[in-house]
Each structure stands twice: as C-alpha cells, then as structure tokens.
Chains A and B, each alone.
Chain A
Amino acid sequence: MSREVSKTPESVKLESSEDLQKEDSNKPPNYKRISDDDLYRHSSQYRMWSFTENNLRERRKQTNDRAVSMINQQLGKFMEENKSTLTEEETNTLNVKASPLSMEEELQLINFYSKKVQVIAQHLNLPTEVIATSITFFRRFFLDNSVMEYDPKNLVHTTIFLACKSENYFISVDSFAKKAKSTRDAILKYEFKLVESLKFSLLNHHPYKPLHGFFLDIQTVLHGKVDLKYMGQIYDRCKKKITDSLLTDIVYLFTPPQITLAIISLEDEQLISRYLGLKFGKEDATEASKGESDTSIENKEEDEEKEAKPSEEIELNKLLAILADCKDKLEKSLSVTTDEAKRVAAKNYYCQNPSILLQKLKRKLEASNAESPNKKQKVEE
C-alpha cells in the first residue's frame, strides 16, 4: 500500500499496489479542476472500495482460494495423522461436512451476519449513519479476509464499536460491552486487524445525504408540481431501503447518488424520470443553471476557465442506463435464511475443527449403540 515519496509530494496518495497502475491511467485528464465528480474521485471510497462485478469476483476468489488451501492443508494433516483410526463412514462424513467453504457459501454467511450487524446496531439505538458505517465496515472486512480465517461472529461487535468511534458517537468500551452483552476483550481483540483490513479508510459516503439533497433539488426543479406531504412520506421509506441496500454489493458498483436515485425511482419512477428529464434533458436547462452561479468572479479567472476543459456534464441516457442497472440488481438481491446460514456456519466450524466433528460422530454412534445394544452385539458376533 505504500507509495513512493516524490520531491513534490502533491499528487501522492495511498492506494493498494494493485490499483496503482490502473489508477494512474484512469485519472481524469484535467486533474486539478475539481468538478463535483472529481471531488468524489478523491475520496477513499472511490479509490479503494469501488469495483466492477469482475473485480469483486476476482477478489473474493483470491480470498477464498487462499483460505481454502490453508484449510485443505490442515485437513490433509489431520487425515494423515488419523489415517489409521478412521472408518470409511467417518472419512466420508468428514469429506462432506468438514470441507472448506466455496466462495458462494462464504458470501451467504457474510450476508447473514451483515444483517445481524444491522439488527444489533438498531437495537442499540444507534444513529442511522453509524449503523450504515458498521455494515459497511463489516462487509469490507470480509472482502480480503475469509470467514474461515476469522469467524464473522467475532467481528460483529467490533465493527459496530469502531463505527461508533469513527462517526463521533463515542461510547466507552465498557458501557458498550455491557449493552452488547459482550466483553471488553472480545470487542477489542480484532480492532487492529479490522482497521488494517479497511486499509485505514474510515470516511464513508452513504446515500442518506444525497437523499436529502435530491429531495431539495426536486422541490426546486419541479416547483409547485409536487406534493410536499407525499415527498415526506416516501422520504422515510427510501431511507429504510437505503439501509437495506448497504447489505448488498450495490455499494461497490455504484456511487451513492446513483444508488439514491435508483431507490427513489423504485418508489416512484415517474417522479425521477420527470425530474431527471427536466434537469439534464435539454441543453438550455443545464446552461441556464451554470450561468447563474457565481457572477462575482475575477475576469482573469473566467478566462482561464474558458480555456480549460469544461467540468463534466451528465449525459441523461447514460445516467438512466446506470440507474436501470442498479435498480435491477437491487430487486434481484436475495436474503439468506437462517437455516441456510446455520448449515454453512456448521460447515465452516467443522472444516476448521475436524476433530470435533469426529468426536460428534463417535458420540452419536455410541448413543445409537446405547439405544440398541442388542443389535450391536449381534453384529460383533
């Protein structure tokens, strides 16, 4: 993650070494001019936590592969050590129930526990942004760490606690431990690892503020044509939907305003298409709004601007396509049932602790033998 220090370190930023070369080639050409989009491009969320679907898949695969080979190594050793004492039945059971998790299974477990993070955080009456940050931290942690390396159960309280600190909602670890029915050590145990895995980027841009912003702008652009009471009603519904969206991969694939617009659109498509059409549709509309801002500039500065590239304009069609894609993914997102989660969690546990599975099997066998001792004796004879 380190970067070379140049003599004029103005353009040095923190990035993961893989993204380094890609980032350089993707820098917008007129880097110094800060358009609204450039402002977002400077954020750590854009630089480090924005991916295409392929990126995500690759990354998860990498994490999974690494963990799988480690588990297989351990299992291999275990099988070797116990070769002589294992029955065929036991070996088969072990191969099924104590095998490493697949990438998809990992994702299931992560999503299940992310929901738990949300529920617990809500139960603790934490502010919306703190809850959102907790979930975000949690999911990001497991992008580069496997559930087979770190049990998600152990990270739930840690992420919530770190989110409280990061969002200036400070609670002392002792009172937090009491409320969460956990212990100080359990909460702090993985804090360093969490911060490290987050690559020390703690500032998140959630879609809530854009929600507020768009609601204001809609009132401007569609002035008089929209019922304010109605707006107030859908506002709360949208807020809740935003929190749900954080449980999916949406946050990596789209920017916060895009997610917000997609969610509002799911609530009321007409509203958004009217709004966007008026806002970005005709050339005149955009020109008018540009011209009005800041008439108090120095002439020289104006001249400089005219020579330089104009700041980015939104292409309506492109934006609509992005929103459609986002909506589509939102609707397709599935939640994980408790049963599924239990199954996967069990597998996770056993693949790391095959000996315990073995014990369980043995005990089970003994229990069934105890029930029908006659049968057993007959067999032995």
Chain B
Amino acid sequence: MSESNYSKEKKVGEGTYAVVYLGKQISTGNEIAVKEIKTSEFKDGLDMSAIREVKYLQELDHPNVINLIDIFMAYDNLNLVLEFLPTDLEVVIKDKNILFTPADIKSWMLMTLRGVYHVHRNFILHRDLKPNNLLISPEGLIKVADFGLARAVPGPREMLTSNVVTRWYRAPELLFGAKHYTYAVDVWSIGVIFAELMLRIPYLPGQDDMNQMEVTFRALGTPTDKDWPEVSSFAGYNKLQIYPPPSRDELRKRFIAATESALTLMENMLMMNPQTRWDTIQCLESEYFKELPAPTDPAEINIFAQKA
C-alpha cells in the first residue's frame, strides 16, 4: 500500500479532478496507470467522485470491469493504481483507419453488457456510460471504467439527481428530470453506444439539454402516455413537439448493416418507457447474440495492428 511500489513515468491525461499517469509496478515490471486525485480542489475534504470510484471499484471484480489494483496516499493526494488500458471505444470509432466488422461490434456489445450486468447485479448504477468510458485492454477486452458518477441503488424513498450521464447518452427519463430512475438509464446508454458502433458517428448529438430532447425524440419518436404511462406528468411535456416513432423499415434504411435481431435489440434498449426497457439479462439472452456471425474472439479483434 505504498508509493514506492509504483513508478509514475508519463502523464497521459488530465481531468477536472484527477491526473492520470502511466507507470510500472516495480515488483513485477507490469504496466499500470495511476490516477492522482487532486484533493486541494475540493473544499469539503476528500472529493466525492474519488470516494465513489474507490467505494465501488473495491467491490467489483469482473473481467469486463476495470480492476483497481491498489491505493496509496502521497503528499496529501489520493492515488488509485489501475490496470493499464491503452485505448477506448471512442478512439476506435473515430479513427477511420481502423476497420471493424459486425462480428467485432457484437463482441464489444457482449463484453459491455456482461460488465454492466455485473455492476447492476451488485446494485450499483454506473450513470456515465459512453464510448470514452469503455476502455480496451491489450488482450482486446472491454473494461467498464470511470465510476465517478456511480452510486448504489438507494432505498425507495430517496431521490436521485437527474443531472447524470453525458448528454448524448442520457435516457429520456433523465432528460425529463426524473428522480426515481433505475438501471434502465444505463441500458439506454448502451443502446446509444450500439447505434454509434454501427453508424460510426454519434447517434443523438444534442447541442444542449433542450436540444437533446429534440434530437432524441425526432430520431425515436415522442413518447405518449399510451406507451409510457404518466410521461405527461413531467414538467415541460406539453411544450414538446410530437414526432412519430420510426417504422422498422426506416430503421433498416438508417442502419443498413444491421440484421433484424440487431435492430430488435437496439429498439428494446432504446425503449422510451423505462419500465419496459430491456434489462441487461434480457439483452444478453437476445437473439442477436445467438445468430451468426458469432462474436469475434477479443484477442483477434484487430484494432492495434491497423493504427497508423
């Protein structure tokens, strides 16, 4: 549990509350990443995001969730030692030199769903799923990372904040300001990621919070009380523009490479009504994963060799 076991070699990123270094675990020589939390920024003692990351990563042990190897204090800073993950899904999607196939997409979806299933099984909501937070290990495994916004599912009386998840991946109930949402918000995020993997551009890119609703409903239809009971009880519902939901044929035209089962899976992950939206179990058991092509073996997904 001490600083001397690890060496920080290169700074690779800086966020609002932490700086990430690449380094080595001295005893084994293996590569690791060190996330140094800037404690001086938070005036109320230890930062909430740091507490959340530490709290939840300590309990989660799964091949598709990032592994917290160690924690140590140094110079009044909290340092998290994490496994070294060279790239993430956002980089892969954006880099036009990297070519991937539907079988690769299926493999990534499978791993992401397995990881999130494990998180949900431990009664934790991730609340910030996006391609940027789906890191990829040198063996090709997807690792769900960044638990800075995560929290344990609260008791039924407690209220949650709806200001979570990066805008483009935010579920409609969050856009409406819901305070008692569930795991469904994570499933929506994965649905949007699925679409993005197939299109290779962001699927619902809103410019601000108001616009996000507009973009979402224009693409997937405005929800009504009929398919989403009590949605009209949300403030601001009456001001909404009513768009019709897309027909299956329209979706086929938009997602030309998608099979019927892929579209079914996506539709159910992007169901407007959070109560009927599929959970991770239903997603994993869907037809999409059973039909051909089979998901590529992660070790054989060729994204590292192709990079220029």
> Which residues of A are at the interface with B, using a C-beta cutoff of 8 A?
1-14, 34, 39, 42-44, 129, 161-162, 165-166, 168, 170, 172-173, 187-188, 191-192, 195-196, 199-203, 296, 298
Are B48 and A170 neighbours in the complex by a CB distance under 8 Å?
yes
Digit string of B35-46 for contact with A (CB within 8 Å is 1, else 0)? 000000001111
- In the complex, what residue of chain B is closest to A161 when comparing beta carbons? B45
Given contacts A7-B30, A13-B61, A42-B59, contact A2 B1 (CB under 8 A): yes
Given contacts A188-B45, A203-B55, A203-B58, contact A12 B76 (CB under 8 A): no
B63 near A: Cβ within 8 Å? yes
Given contacts A9-B67, A203-B59, contact A172 B46 (CB under 8 A): no
Contacts of A201 in B (CB 8 A): 55, 58
Contacts of B76 in A (CB 8 A): 192
- In the complex, what residue of chain A is closest to B50 when comparing beta carbons? A195
**Which B140-167 residues have C-beta < 8 A from chain A?**
151-152, 154-155, 158
Interface centre among B27, B55, B62 (most CB of A within 10 A): B55
Can you report 22 residue pairs joining A to B where beta carbons are below 8 Å apart?
Answer: A1-B1, A1-B70, A2-B2, A2-B5, A2-B25, A4-B25, A5-B69, A5-B83, A6-B28, A8-B139, A10-B63, A14-B58, A39-B122, A162-B46, A165-B46, A168-B158, A192-B46, A196-B73, A200-B54, A200-B71, A202-B51, A203-B59
How far, in whole Å, are A3 and B70 apart by their CA atoms in the complex?
7
Given contacts A42-B61, A202-B54, contact A5 B25 (CB under 8 A): yes
- A173 touches which of B43, B51, B55 (Cβ 8 Å): B43
Contacts of A8 in B (CB 8 A): 139
B160 to chain A, nearest CB (A): 9
Contacts of B58 in A (CB 8 A): 14, 44, 200-203
How far, in whole Å, are A200 and B67 apart by their CA atoms in the complex?
15
How far, in whole Å, are A161 and B71 apart by their CA atoms in the complex?
21
How far, in whole Å, are A192 and B54 apart by their CA atoms in the complex?
13
Contacts of B290 in A (CB 8 A): 298
B157 to chain A, nearest CB (A): 9
Contacts of B152 in A (CB 8 A): 168, 203
Contacts of B61 in A (CB 8 A): 10-11, 13, 42
Contacts of B100 in A (CB 8 A): none
- A43 touches which of B59, B72, B121 (Cβ 8 Å): B59
B285 near A: Cβ within 8 Å? yes
Add 13 more A-B contacts to A10-B62, A165-B51 (CB < 8 A): A2-B2, A5-B32, A10-B61, A14-B58, A39-B122, A43-B59, A162-B46, A165-B48, A173-B43, A195-B46, A200-B54, A200-B58, A203-B59
- In the complex, what residue of chain B is closest to A201 when comparing beta carbons? B58
Are A44 and B59 neighbours in the complex by a CB distance under 8 Å?
yes
Contacts of B158 in A (CB 8 A): 168
Contacts of B171 in A (CB 8 A): none
Interface centre among B32, B58, B62, B122 (most CB of A within 10 A): B58
How far, in whole Å, are A1 and B71 apart by their CA atoms in the complex?
8
Are A166 and B51 neighbours in the complex by a CB distance under 8 Å?
yes
Q: What number of B residues sit within 8 Å (CB to CB) of A?
A: 43
Contacts of B1 in A (CB 8 A): 1-2, 199
Are B121 and A9 neighbours in the complex by a CB distance under 8 Å?
no
Contacts of A195 in B (CB 8 A): 46, 78
- In the complex, what residue of chain B is closest to A158 when comparing beta carbons? B45
B134 near A: Cβ within 8 Å? no
- B55 touches which of A1, A5, A166, A170 (Cβ 8 Å): A166
B56 near A: Cβ within 8 Å? yes
How far, in whole Å, are A34 and B120 apart by their CA atoms in the complex?
14
Are B285 and A298 neighbours in the complex by a CB distance under 8 Å?
yes
Are A173 and B28 neighbours in the complex by a CB distance under 8 Å?
no
B204 near A: Cβ within 8 Å? no
Contacts of B54 in A (CB 8 A): 200, 202
B49 to chain A, nearest CB (A): 11
B154 to chain A, nearest CB (A): 7
- In the complex, what residue of chain B is closest to A42 when comparing beta carbons? B61
**Which B219-235 residues have C-beta < 8 A from chain A?**
none
**3 shortest interchain CB distances as A-B pairs:** A1-B1, A5-B30, A202-B55
B68 near A: Cβ within 8 Å? yes
Are A296 and B69 neighbours in the complex by a CB distance under 8 Å?
no
How far, in whole Å, are A114 and B67 apart by their CA atoms in the complex?
34
How far, in whole Å, are A2 and B55 apart by their CA atoms in the complex?
17
Contacts of A296 in B (CB 8 A): 285
Interface centre among B46, B63, B290 (most CB of A within 10 A): B46
Contacts of B122 in A (CB 8 A): 39
- In the complex, what residue of chain A is closest to B65 when comparing beta carbons? A10
**Which B5-56 residues have C-beta < 8 A from chain A?**
5, 25, 27-28, 30, 32, 43-46, 48, 51, 54-56
How far, in whole Å, are A3 and B44 apart by their CA atoms in the complex?
31
Given contacts A7-B30, A165-B48, A165-B51, contact A14 B70 (CB under 8 A): yes
A377 to chain B, nearest CB (A): 60
- In the complex, what residue of chain A is closest to B60 when comparing beta carbons? A42
How far, in whole Å, are A162 and B44 apart by their CA atoms in the complex?
10
How far, in whole Å, are A215 and B32 apart by their CA atoms in the complex?
46
Are B68 and A14 neighbours in the complex by a CB distance under 8 Å?
yes
- In the complex, what residue of chain B is closest to A8 when comparing beta carbons? B139
Contacts of B46 in A (CB 8 A): 162, 165, 191-192, 195
Are A168 and B154 neighbours in the complex by a CB distance under 8 Å?
yes
How far, in whole Å, are A315 and B30 apart by their CA atoms in the complex?
44
Are A172 and B44 neighbours in the complex by a CB distance under 8 Å?
yes
Contacts of B27 in A (CB 8 A): 4
- A192 touches which of B67, B69, B73, B121 (Cβ 8 Å): B73
How far, in whole Å, are A239 and B1 apart by their CA atoms in the complex?
37
Contacts of A3 in B (CB 8 A): 69-70
